[in-house]
Amino acid sequence: MNYRTLGKTGWQVSEVGYGMWGMGAWTGSDDETSRRALQRAVDRGCNFFDTAWAYGEGKSEVLLGELVRANPGFRLYTATKVPPKNRKWPSEVEIPVGEKGKRLFFLGNVHGWASHDPGTGPWGAVAEYVIHYADGKTQTAPLITGRTADEWALPPEASEVFAGLKGQPWHLNVLGVKLRPTPVKKIIFRDLGTPAAPVLAGVTLEK
């Protein structure tokens, strides 16, 4: 197994992670088979596991807890998602920046999209990234399901756009946006109210 340092944490995380959605929420999943598969992953050097409360309303996290207790000498790292108490996700998220940079890279997770979902607006977007600059000007980049770099010809200009990972029907959309030579005050990620259930998974500023 190969490992990489996770950001500034210093954690050595396996390049191969284990997604636990299937064992928590899919019809026909078998707990004993799941336990053997998880232990096999640890035995092969995997130490990074992705889970969420929604994966069986905590079931996948129960299985992960068992795995942690069964391997006290092996440090395991977990990525999890916790819903709001009222189960209603905000439709808009504001992220303060206060820095100047060359480009912003957005990682958008589109969960519920299907090919027949129309999206909204002139580009059929399911969400949008609004970049607010210190001089009061804004720049908007739409999150369009399944689009690749060659298809981003319409303004506003974006570069290096591609579906990073694909599932059925979810995918991760990676979007790089060239910035103006002005400090970025904040970023607003806005869900445009389509069935796609878009989630902002991460933002990186290239200086």
CA–CA separation, 66 and 89 (whole Å): 29
In this prediction, residue 122 carries a pLDDT of 61
Please tell me the pTM assigned to this model: 0.60
Q: 150 in helix, strand or coil?
A: helix
Instruction: Give 107's pLDDT tier (boundaries 50, 70, 90).
Output: confident
45 vs 128 pLDDT, higher one: 45
Count of residues making up the chain: 207
Which of 59, 9, 58 lies closest to 34, judged by CA?
59
Percent of the chain with pLDDT over 90: 40
Given the candidates 2.60.40, 3.30.1240, 2.60.120, 2.30.29, the CATH classification of the domain at 92-206 is 2.60.120
64: left (phi over 0), alpha (psi -120 to 50) or beta: alpha
Quick one: average pLDDT of 1-15? 92
CA–CA separation, 175 and 100 (whole Å): 18
Which of 101, 87, 74 lies closest to 207, judged by CA?
101
CA–CA separation, 97 and 5 (whole Å): 24
N- to C-terminal Cα separation, the chain: 32
What are the tens digits of pLDDT across the range 11-38?
A: 999 999 999 988 887 777 889 999 999 9
Instruction: Give 152's pLDDT tier (boundaries 50, 70, 90).
Output: very low
Quick one: average pLDDT of 33-60? 92
CATH 2.60.120 maps onto the chain at 92-206
Q: CA 41: distance to chain centroid?
A: 22
Task: Using the structure block, give the residue that is written with the tokens 């958008």.
Answer: 108
- The helix (run of H) or strand (run of E) holding residue 68 is helix 59-70
HSE at residue 67, side-chain half, CA atoms within 13 A, is 31
In this prediction, residue 171 carries a pLDDT of 62
Q: Please tell me the least confidently modeled range out of 134-138, 159-163, 175-179.
A: 159-163
